[in-house]
Amino acid sequence: MPAYPAPDLVRLYRALRLIRRSEEEIARIYPTDKIKSPVHLSIGQEAVSVGVCDALRADDFVSPTYRCHAAYLAKGGDLKAMFAELYGKASGCARGRGGSMHMIGLDHNIIGASAVVGTTVPVALGYALALKREGKGRVVALFLGDGATEEGVFYESLNFASLHRLPALFVCENNFYAIHAPLAKRWATARLCERVATFGIPAHMIPQSDVLEIRSKAAECLEAIRAGAGPAFLECHTYRWREHVGPGEDYDFGYRNRDELRPWQDKDAVSTLGASLDPGERARVDAAVEAEIAAAIEAAEQAEWPDTRELHNYVYAD
Amino acid sequence: MPTTYLEAIREGLWEEMERDPDVFLIGEDIGVYGGAFKVTAGFIEHFGARRVVDTPISESGIVGAAIGAGLMGLRPVAEMQFADFISCGFDQIVNFAAKCRYRWNAAVPMVVRAPSGGGIHGGPFHSQNPEMWFVKTPGLKVICPATAYDAKGLIKSAVRDNDPVIFFEHKALYRRIKEDLPAEEFTVPIGKARVARQGRDLSIITYGAMVWVALEAAETLAAEGIEVEVIDLRTLLPLDRDTVCESVKKTAKVLLLHEDTRTAGMAGELAITITETVFEHLDAPIVRVTAPDTPVPFSPPLEEAFLPNAAKVIEKARWLHRY
């Protein structure tokens, strides 16, 4: 494990903390019904987005899943535009037309997220195809969940990416559940990396969700991808602490048990990395994050609704 | 020398690729083999593998990659080997491509070419006319050319368009239709219908291969003193309502014709459009001639019974004229 100088750890912590606290605020506000969009929260899964996106260059692309808040924020997406989108306001990043599952931030090379599982995977490869033609060494980090690996298009995409040596880093956030169905009821075998490797794609499993390990492995893969080696695949084990959709917990739904959660909470990136920082430094980061979130929420609450006369706009170019 | 419908599409694609280096082709077997119908024969030798991208048999992957490349500013033309196989890429087209602009004001300047239609004994999965799957989807444009001139002019416009376009090429017209094309460059606007034949007694409104059936029927009916106007829609979405309604005002009688099956076919949309707009001008009920609500059968006599033809149109037109 490479040693990280203090500024990097602070940067990583800040990103983790911003995502965690933004989503906790979403959950807090949610019962007021001010946030109209269904929300799929990443609480517990932040380390994957932060570790990968921290290794990306600013001019690289990220393609999030529908559980997109973490990757959107980790790549530098505008917090105010995200909250405004959740509120359905005109200043949202999709002008209130998309909601939580359709965040986009083209000024930070955040490809639009989309709600149908797996659909963004081939689209991200289209970006990679264009980046390969461009020849500037830029890469797409494309996120998918364990559920998306069950879609046929995932295998089409692995084959296509490897065949054309596309500059793509596949990042599978394996949180062990597709909606409420556990892996054991969905996968004939758990050997995902082996399946991927048969396409000639180097595949690495990161079981402990250690943000530094994720960052380091992503950086190593990105270096090879930029050099023309073709795609790489990371399977990052992680755990969704909240319910599949909505602000609450769901350990009483009958499909999983709170005992599963505890080991993940023990190694939680936000608290462990935070504890390793100088307390004064941490307090400064925490305060700045709180202020930024409060400003974003305030802006979203004050923002205008979309004008209903705009209903017919943006269907076609003209 | 006359140019075939197929050659016209090929010329249109070739010219657009010469004109704009961002235009590229992606699809199954389109490189050395030149595509199932040879539309892209010779392209890979001239433009290279970077711009003529052969793919695995992965329609969802092909359309997805075309969308992504389009969002990056390239102009992909994706080929479905047969329009029937577009179902495998359906989600990418209707959920992703069609809604990018509405969600994000992001352009997907993509063309999906789809060889469609019956009359070639292709059977149930190589003969369908799936245009209405897409006409129901706001955000897409849907084109069904009938002539070589329109096929060339519209494929060129489709490549230049900033919205996703589904371009249906009727397989039975590929080598059957020929005409002399202008030597100079031309395009045909998307969203404009064409009066294929002038007439005063009744209007046949149709598109694609059925334009030729309508014209054949019109010849016979003219000999009986019935002057038929034939409207070739050329683009189904957006629909040129003005040209349709002008013809209805002129003739007051309407026969709607399509090769697609009957229920929820284009005829239904045209009938309500006419009723909403020019009902007072009608002198008779709107009638339709379509394929029946069945899959497309393979056996030649069955397929012949399935497809609309001039005799069926003539019979219905005579009834309408007498009304």
Instruction: Map residue A21 onto helix, strand or coil.
Output: helix
Q: Tell me which chain A residues have a C-beta less than 8 angstroms from the C-beta of B61.
A: 122, 125, 153, 156-157, 159-160
Residues A123, B74: C-beta atoms closer than 8 Å:
no
Q: Tell me which chain B residues have a C-beta less than 8 angstroms from the C-beta of A119.
A: 64, 91-92, 95-96
How confident is the model over B270-305, as pLDDT tens digits?
Answer: 999 999 999 999 999 999 999 999 999 998 899 999
Backbone φ and ψ of A140, nearest 5°: -105, 125
Active-site position among B126, B170, B258, B321: B126
Residue B126 annotated as catalytic: yes
Measured CA to CA, the distance from residue A261 to residue B87 in angstroms comes to 41
Measured CA to CA, the distance from residue B95 to residue B269 in angstroms comes to 22
Calculate the alpha carbon distances from A26 to A31, A175, B28, B70, B230 in Å: 9, 21, 46, 34, 59
- Confidence class of residue B3 from pLDDT cuts 50, 70 and 90? very high
Measured CA to CA, the distance from residue A51 to residue A222 in angstroms comes to 12
Nearest CA in chain B to A125: B65
How confident is the model over A215-263, as pLDDT tens digits?
Answer: 999 999 999 999 999 999 999 999 999 999 999 999 999 999 999 999 9
In this prediction the ipTM stands at 0.86
Spell out the domains of chain B, with CATH numbers in brackets: 3-179 (3.40.50.970), 194-322 (3.40.50.920)
pLDDT value, residue A36: 84
How confident is the model over A48-73, as pLDDT tens digits?
Answer: 999 999 999 999 999 999 999 999 99
Given a cut of 70, whether residue B263 has pLDDT beyond it is yes
Contact predicate B93/B112, CB 8 Å: yes
DSSP state of B37: T
Measured CA to CA, the distance from residue A98 to residue A84 in angstroms comes to 11
Given a cut of 60, whether residue A42 has pLDDT beyond it is yes
Which of A94, A102, A122 lies nearest to residue B92, judging by beta carbons? A122
The domain made up of A9-300 is a member of CATH 3.40.50.970: yes
Measured CA to CA, the distance from residue A237 to residue A264 in angstroms comes to 10
Contact predicate B136/B81, CB 8 Å: no
Cβ-count burial B75-111 (b if 16+ within 10 Å, e if not): bbbbbbbbbbbbbbbbbbbbebbbbbbbbbebbbbbb
Residues B64, A123: C-beta atoms closer than 8 Å:
yes
Q: Which two tokens stand for residue A229?
A: 């080696």
Separation of first and last alpha carbons in chain B: 45
Name residue A111's amino acid: I
Nearest CA in chain A to B51: A133
Given a cut of 90, whether residue A310 has pLDDT beyond it is no
Q: Calculate mean pLDDT across residues B145-170.
A: 98
For an interface test with A, the pick among B104, B135, B165 (most A C-beta atoms closer than 10 Å) comes out as B104
Measured CA to CA, the distance from residue A283 to residue A288 in angstroms comes to 9
* β-sheet bridge partners, residue A178: A181
Which of B72, B92, B161 lies nearest to residue A119, judging by beta carbons? B92
Nearest CA in chain A to B88: A153
Q: Calculate mean pLDDT across residues A61-86.
A: 98
Q: Calculate mean pLDDT across residues B76-101.
A: 96
- Nearest C-alpha neighbor of A88 from the set A23, A35, A40: A35
Residues B72, A131: C-beta atoms closer than 8 Å:
yes
Nearest CA in chain A to B76: A126
Q: How many Cβ atoms are within 10 Å of B232's Cβ, its own excluded?
A: 25
Which of B67, B102, B162 lies nearest to residue A126, judging by beta carbons? B67
Residue B16: left if φ>0, alpha if ψ -120 to 50, beta else—which one?
alpha
Measured CA to CA, the distance from residue B172 to residue B155 in angstroms comes to 18
Least confident of A163-167, A191-195, A204-208, A306-310: A306-310
